[in-house]
Amino acid sequence: MRGRLLCLFWTAALLTFPPSGCSCEAGTSADGGSGEGGGNGAADSGNGAGFQTGGNGGGSDNCLAEAELVYVLSYERQLYSFDPNLPGLQAYKLIGTLDCQSIGSPQSMSVDKNGIAYVFYDSGELFRVSTLDASCNPTTYVHPVPSAFNQLGMGFTATSPDAFDDQLFVVSPDFGLATIAFPSHEVSELGGLLGAAELTGGPDAKLFHFAADSASLSEVSVASLTTTPMHTFNGLQGTQAWAFSRYAGNFYMFTSAGVGFGSTCTIFDPVANAETERDADIGFTVVGAGQSICVPPPVPQ
């Protein structure tokens, strides 16, 4: 999910600078299920003190406690956990401030099955961040189309329904939909879906796309590289900072007028086809949001 702030935790996109989409997807895991996303792969900087890994089997019994929450990242580089079960601002808990060594600014975020956050900076760098203490390690990721200001939406989703295995999807206005493999961080471009947007997934192996310019939420078909419209949000068109996440089947959209304006969190319930303002002003500008495949799945209907 990149730095778009729709309390769906759209990973936030800051358009007060050159147009960008922040991603908060919440949901897909950058380790692709091979275990690297938790911190054992040689391509990353290794297991820092704040990094842990989950089990190797399938199902929630393998999930760490930190992998069962949503996370949001502020423009000021502060990482928060978000528990949708808690009321109001009690749901947001400050973890720490990122110390990633970069000349850029955080622009999108997603969280893998081991509760490790992957944060994309507009400089084109991808960092691996602990959700325990916000400590930061670089990765070997190379952005396919580097420029002075880079945009990326991100989201982990399960490789199949209820599997304890995940895949990181990304989307860029420069190269469309793609995947990032672990531990190599190799990018495989799939094409299609060009434009500034955010992604998120979940334990049901679905992938979702939020376009801030039209405030439209869609489900993505990876096979056909097409989207099926789900909902258009009232009053969110043209938002300047956005991100989103998904928890128990509901979408949490974080949106803001830009840097310096606290984000609003909006919940969208796809079963009732209803959007509700959860928090009018959370007190900081969200530029990234995400959750792992360990969050609760949608309630069976």
pLDDT at 126 over 90: yes
* pLDDT at residue 23 greater than cutoff 80: no
pLDDT over 50 at 3, yes or no: no
Q: What is the CATH number of domain 36-291?
A: 2.120.10
Q: Residue 112 carries which side chain, given as an amino acid letter? A: D
| Residue 299 pLDDT class (50, 70, 90 cuts) | confident
49 confidence band (pLDDT: 50, 70, 90): very low
E strand spans, the chain: 70-74, 78-82, 92-97, 106-111, 116-121, 126-130, 136-138, 153-158, 166-172, 176-180, 187-191, 198-200, 208-211, 216-221, 226-232, 241-247, 250-256, 264-269, 274-279, 286-291
- Whole-number pLDDT of residue 60: 59
Query: What is the pLDDT averaged over residues 30-52?
Result: 39
The mean per-residue pLDDT over the stretch 99-126 comes to 97
Give the chain's mean pLDDT: 84
Q: Where are the domains of the chain?
A: 36-291
When mean pLDDT is compared across 21-30, 119-128, 235-244, 263-272, the lowest value belongs to: 21-30
Is the pLDDT reported for residue 22 higher than 70? no
